[in-house]
């Protein structure tokens, strides 16, 4: 019997899957002796297209968590009763199986708790084995990482249908790579050799299920942006302190209890360490820092070194152990600070007086029923946000601030008629949320 021409096509698809460095381990075809032993154990000959597939294309693969594997027929034969060969395991005792004999020989059926049902193609007819195999391999190919050429400079797996379960080994040859985006791919670990990609400028590994990262990241001397957010990292390698060009580090949503000595980095401007377990930031604040995200850490104080930075904006929220007076004393010596947001924290009058450089102040859910007169010291203030307080009025002196243009009052009990009177009396200031 002539071989179906699709067999050669499917063999080429398997070759492409392997060429791309897929984590799916498709085995070599079975030998004639192995096929003979399989048929002897089944007690019936395999349908011709099934025999050609396993003998000329692939013998299948071991199971992978989260994906239905293309089963090795020598495993599949033990899973179901006579007359059926399991060819894919969907979990929960659900299998795809090929019928071995009788009028339906070569058709693919699904075996599950409620019995057997045939797979049906787009034409409404029972699905034949090679049609099923073609669909299966196309899905594996679509999920495989694209081929990596040595000359490539950018790889963004968010723009592909790839579903990675390991870091693609073929990336190692791309020594000129400048941007690598692996966000939300379950690569689980970064290889030690990643430090060889010395042209890399941007490495995005958010949501990759990482539990550790290698110290060799410190060898990426051209790296400017690094994202390790939403992983399971308990620490960051000391090697990060060797990155002379790193401008942005995003490590929010991890399990960090401490940071490496980032204060030594000459170019770091943005640091996001929200929702970790950090108790202090001593030695972690470089003079070049402009943006710092701290929300959701058990910090007790802010580092004194923050006063010597270029910090422009800061949000203090979900910091239950923070000594607010100490923190605002440090920020009062930070001449570059322009925007400060406090949520659930009530600053003292003395602390407010020190923040004379602010142009935007947000004091939300502080329990204020009246505004502290210390705000009169903030002569550069342009925007004042007072959401979720208990204000029923605004004092006349507030509108004497020379630069004030916007006041935000959402979720305050300010009566509508009083809000209207304020607008009429002070048309130079826009009132929102009242």
pLDDT band at 337 (very low <50, low <70, confident <90, very high): very high
Q: How far is CA 19 from the centre of its chain?
A: 27
Q: Which residue has the higher pLDDT, 218 or 107?
A: 218
Say if CB 31 and CB 54 are below 8 A apart: no
Q: Read off the pLDDT of residues 251-284 as tens digits, 9 standing for 90 and up.
A: 999 999 999 999 999 999 999 999 999 999 999 9
55-64, 93-102, 123-132, 394-403: which has the minimum mean pLDDT? Answer: 55-64
pLDDT at position 145 is: 66
Which has more pLDDT, 19 or 38?
38
Average pLDDT value for the chain: 88
d(CA 220, CA 243) in angstroms, rounded, equals 7
CB hemisphere CA count around 207 (13 angstroms): 9
| Residue predicted with more confidence, 328 or 163 | 328
Residue 80, pLDDT above cutoff 60: no
Is residue 249 over pLDDT 60? yes
pLDDT at 43: 84
Instruction: Choose among 13, 22, 53: nearest CA to 35.
Output: 53
Report pLDDT for 66.
38
Strand 270-272, strand 248-250: pairing: parallel
How does residue 184 score in pLDDT terms, banded at 50, 70 and 90?
A: confident
Residue 111 has pLDDT above 70, yes or no: yes
Number of other CB atoms surrounding residue 427 within 10 Å = 8
Please state, in angstroms and rounded to a whole number, the distance separating the CA atoms of residues 366 and 400.
Answer: 23
Mean pLDDT within 239-254: 97
Model confidence at 79, pLDDT cuts 50, 70, 90, reads very low
- Alpha carbon separation from 90 to 64, 228, 321 (Å, rounded): 10, 32, 49
- What confidence score (pLDDT) does residue 147 get? 67
Instruction: State how far the Cα of 305 lies from the Cα of 352, in Å rounded to an integer.
Output: 20
Q: How big is the chain by its Cα radius of gyration, in Å?
A: 32
pLDDT given at position 206: 95
Q: How confident is the model at residue 65 (pLDDT cuts 50, 70, 90)?
A: very low
DSSP code for 67: B
* Residue 162 pLDDT grade (very low, low, confident, very high; cuts 50, 70, 90): low
CB 88 within 8 A of CB 61: no
- At 158 the pLDDT is 64
Phi, psi (degrees; rounded to nearest 5) at 164: -80, 145
Dist CA 367 CA 385 (whole Å): 14
Question: How high is the pLDDT of residue 248?
Answer: 98
What's the rounded mean pLDDT across residues 71-91? Answer: 63
User: 118-122, 230-234, 256-260, 380-384 — which is least confidently predicted?
Assistant: 118-122
Widest pairwise Cα distance in the chain: 97
3-state secondary structure of 220: coil
Place 374 in a pLDDT band, splitting at 50, 70 and 90. very high
**pLDDT at residue 73, as a whole number:** 59
For residue 164, pLDDT beyond 90: no
Supply the pTM of this predicted model: 0.71
Q: Which of 75-89, 267-281, 338-352 has the highest mean pLDDT?
A: 267-281
Query: Mean of the pLDDT values across residues 409-434?
Result: 95
Give the Cα separation of 208 and 326 in Å (integer).
37
**pLDDT, tens only, 282-335:** 999 999 999 999 999 999 999 999 999 999 999 999 998 899 999 999 999 999
**Structural domains in the chain?**
6-142 (3.40.1580.10), 338-434 (3.80.10.10)
* Mean pLDDT, rounded, for 117-130: 84
Half-sphere exposure of 89 (CA within 13 A, CB side): 20
């Amino acid at each position: 019997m002539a071989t179906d021409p699709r067999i050669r096509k499917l063999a080429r698809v398997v070759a492409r899957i392997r060429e791309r460095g897929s984590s799916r381990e498709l085995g070599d075809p079975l030998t004639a002796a192995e096929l003979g032993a399989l048929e002897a154990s089944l007690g019936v000959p395999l349908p011709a297209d099934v025999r050609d597939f396993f003998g000329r294309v692939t013998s299948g693969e071991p199971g992978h968590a989260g994906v239905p594997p293309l089963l090795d027929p020598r495993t599949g034969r033990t899973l179901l009763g006579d007359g059926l060969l399991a060819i894919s395991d969907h979990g929960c005792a659900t299998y795809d199986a090929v019928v071995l004999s009788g009028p339906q020989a070569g058709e693919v059926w699904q075996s599950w708790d409620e019995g057997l049902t045939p797979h049906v193609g787009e034409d409404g007819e029972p699905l034949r084995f090679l049609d099923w195999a073609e669909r299966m391999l196309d899905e594996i190919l679509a999920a495989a990482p694209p081929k990596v050429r040595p000359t490539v400079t950018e790889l963004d797996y968010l723009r592909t249908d790839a579903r990675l379960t390991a870091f693609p080994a073929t990336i190692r040859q791309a020594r000129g790579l400048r941007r690598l985006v692996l966000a939300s791919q379950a690569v689980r670990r970064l290889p030690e050799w990643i430090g060889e990609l010395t042209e890399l400028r941007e490495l995005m590994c958010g949501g990759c299920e990482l539990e550790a990262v290698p110290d060799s990241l410190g060898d990426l001397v051209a790296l400017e942006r690094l994202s390790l957010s939403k992983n399971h990292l308990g620490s960051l390698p000391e090697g990060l302190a060797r990155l002379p060009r790193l401008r942005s580090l995003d490590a929010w949503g991890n399990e960090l209890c401490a940071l490496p000595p980032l204060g030594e980095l000459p170019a770091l401007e943005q640091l996001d360490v929200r929702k970790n377990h950090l108790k202090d930031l001593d030695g972690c604040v470089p003079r070049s820092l402009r943006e710092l995200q701290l929300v959701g850490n058990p910090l007790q104080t802010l580092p004194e070194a923050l006063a010597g930075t270029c910090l422009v904006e800061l949000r203090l929220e979900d910091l239950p152990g923070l000594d607010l007076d100490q923190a605002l004393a440090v920020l009062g010596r930070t001449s570059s600070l322009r925007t400060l947001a406090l949520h659930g924290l009530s600053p003292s009058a003395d602390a407010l007086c020190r923040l004379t450089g602010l142009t935007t102040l947000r004091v939300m859910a502080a329990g204020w029923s009246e505004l502290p007169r210390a705000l009169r010291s903030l002569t550069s203030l342009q925007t004042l946000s007072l959401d979720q307080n208990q204000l029923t009025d605004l004092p006349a002196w507030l509108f004497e601030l020379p630069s004030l243009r916007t006041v935000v009052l959402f979720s305050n009990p300010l009566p509508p008629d009083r809000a209207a009177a304020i607008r009429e009396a002070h048309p130079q200031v826009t009132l929102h949320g009242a």
